[in-house]
Amino acid sequence: MNYSYIIIDDDPESVLKTKAIADSFSELNFIAAADNYSDALNLILEHNPKLVFLEIDPANTKSNLSLNLIDALYRYLNRIPKIIITTSKKDLAFEAIQYEVTDYLIKPLKSIDFIKLTLKLKKSHLDDEIVLIQSPNTEENISPIKAAETTNKKKNLILCIKSYGDHRYIDSKDICFFQADNNSTDIHLNNGEVITAFKTLKHFEAVLTNPFIRIHNSYIINRNYIARIHTGNSLCYIKNTTIKLPFSKSYKKNIDFIISDFSNENYIEI
């Protein structure tokens, strides 16, 4: 089994080192490399590689390389490539696991890392070939490819707000924004309802990923509900409401990311 791959890394020397090791494995076929979010997304969508080696702690923060790239891939692809994180930081591993990445390699990369990776890929491929999933309603079997596609479809995150035995379930797609209120957080839904959770905004920032992005000490916004961003007045407007949320200078890079993220979609600037 051959595996085409793309390297996403803002360090040219690191790209060369990764490719040099990979070149010694005949089953790994290099396609291209990218050093920023936009180019990386375009390359993956254009070439549809089987593997992506991704740096998530770039030296140049303007490259916008992070795990958010995986979220973007789910918006366009039913089946995303296998993601292999390559970084020098161990403390990002837990967050990466939440994205179900295939592997997490610590730089400097070594040949043994790639030996283990290729063995893991071969085992995974073999398992996919021999596993048949039987439909509960028919006698037909679902093909391994179809089964993998079904598994890879990302479901919406459900938030469970617990209070004195009460379990309130909220579909994350219905949340417009989170607002800090001392040691609690108000969750604003798209129907106008506000639910209070007795957790800090920092707690939600730690457990949530894109499309939920911190824009202010008091706000985390769902970028899917942004209708307008006014950088001059430092305001984000919420769709179908009169609500305007401020963003602060300390989170300006997150606003830049949102603007960049929008531009990578089906987008025309007039």
Give domain 158-263's CATH number out of 3.40.50.970, 2.40.50.1020, 3.40.50.620, 3.30.70.2740. 2.40.50.1020
Taking 60 as the threshold, does the pLDDT of residue 142 lie above it? no
pLDDT on residue 41: 95
Q: Where are the domains of the chain?
A: 3-130, 158-263
Q: State the average pLDDT for the chain.
A: 86
What are the start-end ranges of the H helices in 24-141?
37-47, 68-76, 93-98, 111-130
Mean pLDDT for 152-161 is 73
% of the chain surpassing 70 pLDDT: 88
Least confident of 31-40, 112-121, 244-253, 258-267: 258-267
At residue 149, the pLDDT reads 45
Domain 3-130 -> CATH class: alpha beta
Q: Give the model's confidence band at 155: pLDDT under 50 very low, under 70 low, under 90 confident, else very high.
A: low
> Cα(240)–Cα(226) distance, rounded to whole angstroms?
10
| pLDDT of the residue at 166 | 86
Strands 103-106 and 82-87: parallel
Name the pLDDT band for 143 (thresholds 50, 70, 90).
very low
pTM: 0.51
What does the pLDDT read at residue 216?
96
Helices (H) and strands (E) in the chain, counts: 8, 17
- What letter would DSSP give residue 224? G
Residue 125 has what pLDDT? Answer: 61
Please state, in angstroms and as integers, the Cα–Cα distance from residue 176 to each residue in 183, 256, 261, following that order. Answer: 20, 19, 18
Report the 10 Å Cβ neighbour count for 217: 12
CA-wise closest residue to 262 among 226, 234, 233: 226
More confident residue, 81 or 125: 81
Residue 16 reports pLDDT greater than 70: yes
**Whether residue 135 has pLDDT greater than 80:** no
